[in-house]
Structure 1
Amino acid sequence: MRLFAAVLPDPAAVSELAVAVDRLRALPGADGLRWTWRAGWHFTLAFMGEVDEGLLPALRERLARAARHSEPFELRVRGGGKFGRRALWAGADGGVEELGRLAGRAEAAARRAGVPMDRHRAYHPHLTVARGRTDADLRPYVEELRSFASTPWQVRDLSLVRSNLPAGGIAGEQPRYETVGSWSLGRSG
């Protein structure tokens, strides 16, 4: 199964971001982008790719330990940016250092559980809101997101999410995400 560790944003932050994204979708050229679904918005901590089901017990145990070693922290969705000319994202503000530490712990947990983590990159917290079908000038969208800031919330959980890739060949079909595990942050979790 295809898995990743993530922080899921608070529903209020999702609703606020949805209003901002609706404004982005009204900009010229927006129909050339594939807009991600609200239900799929998340901050990826560690992408694991295909994971053998035999590794799940150890992975769950290690992620639970990573969560226990991370205290709850405040976060908000804020601003935005782009990766190249094909990915538009909303950023994070507040407990970004804590989010980075949690990402490092989630990646280490996966590695210790036997998940090959070959694709390590420096952690850059982001929530993808759109992808380009081809190269696109994303600067107007980034500029529009610059002043966006959601209501802050307390990150209290580390989630293990399964990504079910589209199989039907239907235009506009997107991955479906299913939370398959969640652990409370902190010693009491």
Structure 2
Amino acid sequence: MRLFAAVLPPPDVTDELAAAVARARRLPGADGLRWTGRPGWHLTLAFYGEVGEEAVAPLAERLARAARRTDPFELALRGGGAFGGRALWTGVTGDVPALRLLAGRAEAAARRAGLPMEEHRRYRPHLTLARARGRDRAVDLAPFTAALDAFAGRSWTVRELSLVRSNLPGPGVPGEGPRYETFAERALGTGG
């Protein structure tokens, strides 16, 4: 199964973000983007890719340890940005060092569980809102990032780390994106 570790913003936070995204989606050129669905909004901590059934339990146990060692912390979604002309996102403010620490621990959990991980890169916290259609197509995302510049969401306390399963759409399903389901949740700061 295809898995990743994530922080899931609560509904009141995604309500605010949904209103800002709705305004951005009315801009010219918005139909040139594949917008992520609200049920899939998350802050990825570590992407594991395809994980065999035999590795899921050890990974979940290692993630539980990582969560226990991380105290709850405050975050808020804020502003907008882009990765080149390929992805539009909203950023994160608050205790970003704690989020980075949790991301590092989620990556280390996978290594300790025996999962092969790509070369470590500095964690860039963001929540992806849209992607350019097609791998080789870039879009001018400046109007969209400008529309999100003033966005400042309410803060919330991150209290858990989620292990999420990504279900990719079947072949021949145009425009459908992945569906996400929370596979396991681990409470932060419960000792250890």
When normalised by structure 2's length, the TM-score is 0.96
Alignment of 1:1-189 (within 5 A): 1-133=1-133, 134-187=137-190
Give the deviation of 1:41 after TM superposition.
Answer: 0.2
Counterparts of 1:71 and 1:121, CA distance in 2:
23
Structure 1: tracts of 5 or more residues without a match: none
Counterparts of 1:51 and 1:183, CA distance in 2:
18
Give the deviation of 1:25 after TM superposition.
Answer: 0.4
Give the deviation of 1:120 after TM superposition.
Answer: 2.7
Aligned residues: 189
> What whole-Å deviation, never above 9, does each CA across 1:69-105 have from its counterpart, x for those lacking one?
0000011111111011010001101011110000000
Contact conserved, 2:67 with 2:187, CA < 8 A, in 1?
yes
Give the deviation of 1:52 after TM superposition.
Answer: 1.1
Counterparts of 2:155 and 2:172, CA distance in 1:
38
> What whole-Å deviation, never above 9, does each CA across 1:23-77 have from its counterpart, x for those lacking one?
0000010011110000000000000001111011111110000000000001111
Which amino acid in structure 1 is aligned with residue 49 of structure 2?
G
User: Aligned Cα RMSD in Å?
Assistant: 1.1
Counterparts of 1:180 and 1:188, CA distance in 2:
22
Q: Which stretches of structure 1, 4 residues or more, deviate above 6 A after TM superposition?
A: none
When normalised by structure 1's length, the TM-score is 0.97
Contact conserved, 2:69 with 2:191, CA < 8 A, in 1?
no
Give the deviation of 1:119 after TM superposition.
Answer: 4.4
Identity rate, percent: 63
Structure 2: tracts of 5 or more residues without a match: none
Contact conserved, 2:89 with 2:127, CA < 8 A, in 1?
yes
Give the deviation of 1:187 after TM superposition.
Answer: 2.2
Which amino acid in structure 2 is aligned with residue 132 of structure 1?
A
Q: Secondary structure at the match of 1:150?
A: strand
